[in-house]
Amino acid sequence: MKRSGIADLPLHGGRVPQWLAERMTMLGTAITETIIHGYGTSAFLSRLSDPFWFQALGAVMGMDWHSSGITTSVMGALKRGLAPRAHELGIYICGGRGKHSRNTPYELRQLAERRGFNGEALVRASRLTARVDNNAIVDGFQIYLHSFVVDEQR
């Protein structure tokens, strides 16, 4: 089956209501824990990187309107939910939306110091990814979300 084509997915403003954000955090955390405990962090990262699976995850977590806001809402919910158990689960989410995206290098260096990773290599990968997103993907939008997910295997 050929997977190609064009989809017009307009961006919309606004925020997820607090009650929904809390539910998304609890459900996203439970789903992530189940996948990691059953299949490992690499299986979770593989699923997270699949745009179809990611879209479905957002819908299951409660984003019942179309695609706008799913990425920021899902990543924010996962970061909030997984942060307290990151060491136990072996998965870390750095960065985020808006001003939080600019904290990604700092968060990666902190994580690297605590866990013995090569922080500068992670920061370099983060910066290159952001540069590609801003400059090489010609979609007419500036980057407004930069999340970087790292597992114990770096």
pLDDT at 58: 93
Residue 91 β-bridge partners: 151
Residues in the chain, overall count: 154
Q: Which residues on adjacent β-strands are paired with residue 145?
A: 97
Q: Is the distance from CB of 69 to CB of 59 less than 8 angstroms?
A: no
> Whole-prediction pTM value?
0.83
User: Using CB atoms within 10 A of its CB, is residue 44 exposed (0-12), middle (13-18) or buried (19+)?
Assistant: buried
Model confidence pLDDT, tens digit, residues 109-151: 999 999 888 889 989 988 888 888 777 666 666 667 888 899 9
First to last CA, the chain: 33
Residue 36 is predicted with a pLDDT of: 97
Q: Quick one: pLDDT at residue 8?
A: 65
Which residues in the chain come in under a pLDDT of 70?
Answer: 1-2, 7-12, 64-68, 136-143, 154
The C-alpha atoms of residue 62 and residue 24 are separated, in whole angstroms, by 6
**Amino acid type, 61:** M
Distance of CA 99 to the CA centre of its chain: 15
- Residue (of 78, 118, 76) closest to 100 by Cα position: 76
